[in-house]
Amino acid sequence: MEIYWILLICLAAVVLFILVFFAIVSVLIQKTRFGVRSDGNPALRYFQAKDFENLQAEDISFVSDKGQTLRGCIYSDMRVKEPKGLVIWVHGFGAGHNAYTTEIAYLAAQGYLVLGYDNTGCVLSDGKGVGGLIQGAIDASYAVRYVQNEPRLKQYKRVLVGHSWGAYSAMNIFSFGEHVDGVVAMCGFDTAQGVVTDMSRRYFGGFSGLIRFYSKILHRLRFGRLASVSSRKSLLKSDVPVLLLYGEDDKVVPFRTNGRKIIRAVRDKKNIRAITYPDKGHSVYLTIKAEKYIKEVFAKLASSKKMPSEEFERYRSSIDYAMLTEEDAAVMGEIRDFLENIFC
């Protein structure tokens, strides 16, 4: 009998240790990933409007939920006399909207004004840290409010276009009650807790479920009722055109646990169209060649601490930015046609 109780106490101690350990891990993930700023990779060059022959930019700013100022630009093509409408570009995690200036220039050349801004805690905008993935959806709702109240912009139809974190933010606009005329979402995830689970699964395997549990608690403490925001649930509320684009070979936001689930959930919604690309990864708007090159560059930069400074500078100066940002004409064409159907 004594052995039985000893084994039971040992088992309880192990379970308690596991629970406490993963609670600590979850808090550390929250602090190290979202408690710091996301200002891009200092080793990389991010294009500005001046890098494109006909692209012009006007600085803008607006206030988000806690009074923090978000900054960005209204982009336009100087050859366009009468804009067709307004595109609000919502950026992904890791940098600000200038990580997508090539795509912004493309859309401006199609005849649109493009509002590109940086989320809380990113590049140009205020904030000691990002705060959490749900903050992106909050910031997107405030970007739409800004447009609705800006005299020179509120006259235009507006479409949100987002990638990754930006896609999640764009899809969830329907849970915030802000009016948009369409959404393009590329490689977006379903829930903030779910994508944290996906990230932790490669390190903690079956214990990633505990990460998800604690992540839900931490999100609830920070964001209240917004912690339950889900792209699937939000899209089911939509009544405007939505275009979903996914790479089935996405390793960053796994298609199986995100894109596939979202597409299945909304398959009966006539206003939503989904396109998947079997051989594409996370940057679905780029060519497969560019996606491969991005992996090579980031792997090299990740190991740069082991390089002599001269070798690192040589590699940094050798990066082929034309290749790094090579757009997939077919994918961008799908976005172009989708916008044309809304604005024309």
pLDDT, tens digit (0-9, with 9 covering 90-100), for 32-52: 888 899 999 999 999 999 999
175-196: average pLDDT: 94
Q: What is the dihedral of CA 297, 120, 76, 152, to 10 degrees?
A: 170
In this predicted structure, what is the pLDDT of residue 336?
A: 98
pLDDT at residue 131 is higher than 80: yes
- Domains annotated for the chain, with CATH where assigned, are 2-283 (3.40.50.1820)
Measured CA to CA, the distance from residue 243 to residue 330 in angstroms comes to 14
43 CB-side CA count, 13 A: 18
Tokens linked to 171:
């899809």
Instruction: Give the contacts of 191 (CB within 8 A, at least 6 positions apart).
Output: 229, 230, 231
The residue among 306, 184, 296 whose CA lies nearest residue 241 is: 184
In this predicted structure, what is the pLDDT of residue 1?
A: 59
DSSP state of 312: H
The answer to whether 320 and 44 have CB atoms below 8 angstroms apart is: no
Tokens linked to 115:
């509002």
Q: Which of 13-17, 21-25, 175-179 has the highest mean pLDDT?
A: 175-179
Measured CA to CA, the distance from residue 183 to residue 204 in angstroms comes to 35
pLDDT at residue 197 is higher than 70: yes
In this predicted structure, what is the pLDDT of residue 293?
A: 97
Measured CA to CA, the distance from residue 84 to residue 28 in angstroms comes to 46
- Residue, of 119 and 307, whose pLDDT is higher: 119
| Residues constituting the chain | 344
Average pLDDT score over the chain: 93
Q: What is the pTM of this model?
A: 0.94
